[in-house]
Amino acid sequence: MLKKGKKGEVDWIIFVAAELVIFAIIFFSFMSMVKGWTSGDVINKVYISRDTALLIDSLYSVPYNVYVMYPNKVSEITSSVSKYTLEFKEGVVSVYSDMVVDVTRASYHYTENGKMKIDKKFIHPSSLVFYKCNDAVNIEDFKTFAEISETFCSGIDAEGGILSKRFVVNPVDDYDAFDIADSVNSIFFNNVVLSRDKGDTGITDNRIQEKIDEKPTDIILNLNTDITGKKIVIKTPQETEKRVEITALVSLLNYFIKKNVKDIEIEEKIVEDISLFNANTGKITVQIEIPLDTGISNNGLIAKAIADAIRRYYGG
């Protein structure tokens, strides 16, 4: 209630105080709204645009073919991808809502190579697959693993194997076999020794000779621990290729993350159906999944994990 002074004027101090109270109420209501706004829609869009752009850049840095399913559960935010439209064009990811003009549209850049220009638009995608096939990165809207298997590298990969020529880890060769094998041991398989030369550790010369006599081989894979059937399946060598066939049924990316992003606990996921794998390419192939919900909000965790792992693996 306003109080009047001697001359019938309103007591302005009380009036201002009342106004300030009203402003305070509006302020806190507004702040609450802004907080919700920033922690929701806007941040989601910015996060997804950055995350997907970094993911594309990271795929280019992987030496072989690879695919990554998205959304992942490294951050809860990515699960909101189905609420938006994602557009990948001319090196920019744009994430926006169904509005005539989305003032909170988020964009982030990625850098392509000369092989292929990504030009894709996904309206409320339930899930996306980012993949690199023969050095060309692309994105598809897939719902099931089976759908991915039918189209990944189709027409390019003559073998047609579901995971063939994907992320290939085949580190043994004429140079630095020891160093690389050590890296493999320490990063991926703990006690696996990949060797080629007689001098390599983990297998005797006689045994190597026996193996070579049995079937022509370039690579001997010696498992120091019994992980056959659990993580790795060794296929019969193709005589024509003279190389041992190796198929890994474990997500190497999980190892990447486990080793490089310590605050994330990643559950190993093993693909049981080995018929999905094609062994004819003679290379280790990998399915990549990010299975755990960590609740950590930080862009580019997967990309960072991939980059760190590759650097450690190949760069020493």
Residues forming contacts to other proteins in the complex (CB under 8 A) are 2, 7, 9-10, 12, 15-16, 19-20, 23, 27, 30-31, 34-35, 37-39, 42-43, 46-47, 50, 54, 57-58, 60-64, 77, 91, 109, 111-115, 134-135, 165, 168, 170, 173, 175, 241, 243, 282-283, 297-301, 303-304, 307-308, 310-311, 314-316
Give burial (CB, 10 Å; 0-12/13-18/19+) of 81.
buried
CB 153 within 8 A of CB 133: yes
CB of 196 to other proteins, least distance (A): 13
Residue 204: how many CB atoms within 10 A of its CB?
Answer: 10
3-state secondary structure of 54: helix
Residues 113, 136: Cα–Cα separation, whole Å: 8
Residue 225 CB, nearest approach to other proteins (Å): 26
Distance of closest approach, residue 217 Cβ to other proteins, in angstroms? 14
Q: Name residue, tokens 């190796």.
A: 246
Q: Which is nearer to other proteins, 35 or 121 (CB)?
A: 35
What is the spatial distance between Cα 126 and Cα 7, in angstroms, rounded to a whole number? 70
When the beta carbons of 39 and 126 are compared against other proteins, the nearer one is 39
Rg of the chain taking only CA atoms, in angstroms: 27
Alpha carbon distance 270, 76 (integer Å): 23
Considering beta carbons, is residue 47 or 142 the nearer one to other proteins?
Answer: 47
Q: Which is nearer to other proteins, 46 or 68 (CB)?
A: 46
Q: Nearest approach, Cβ of 165 to other proteins (angstroms)?
A: 7
Closer by beta carbon to other proteins, 281 or else 287: 281
All residues at 6 or more sequence positions from 189 whose CB lies less than 8 Å from its CB, including other chains = 223, 227, 231, 232
The distance of closest approach from Cβ of residue 316 to other proteins in the complex, given in angstroms and rounded to an integer, is 7
Whole-angstrom distance, CA of residue 9 vs CA of residue 51: 61
Return the number of the residue (40 or 199) whose C-beta is nearest other proteins.
40
- Closest approach of other proteins to the CB of residue 230, in Å: 27
For the sheet with 85-89, list strands across it. 106-109, 92-96, 85-89, 119-123
Cβ proximity to other proteins, 30 vs 265, nearer residue: 30
Q: CA-CA distance, 78 to 52, in Å (whole number)? A: 9
What's the CA gap between 180 and 186, in Å, rounded? 10
Candidates 78, 62, 61; CA nearest to 299 is 78
Nearer of residues 66 and 271 to other proteins, judged by Cβ: 66
Compute CA 119 distance to the chain's CA centroid, rounded to the nearest angstrom: 20
Q: Least distance to other proteins from the beta carbon of 204, Å?
A: 27
Smaller CB separation from other proteins, 112 or 147: 112
Element (H, E) at 197: none
Taking the complex as a whole, how short is the minimal distance between the CB of residue 245 and other proteins, in angstroms? 13
Q: How far is the CB of 235 from other proteins (least distance, A)?
A: 16
Nearest alpha-carbon partner for 245 in 285, 206, 286, 197: 285
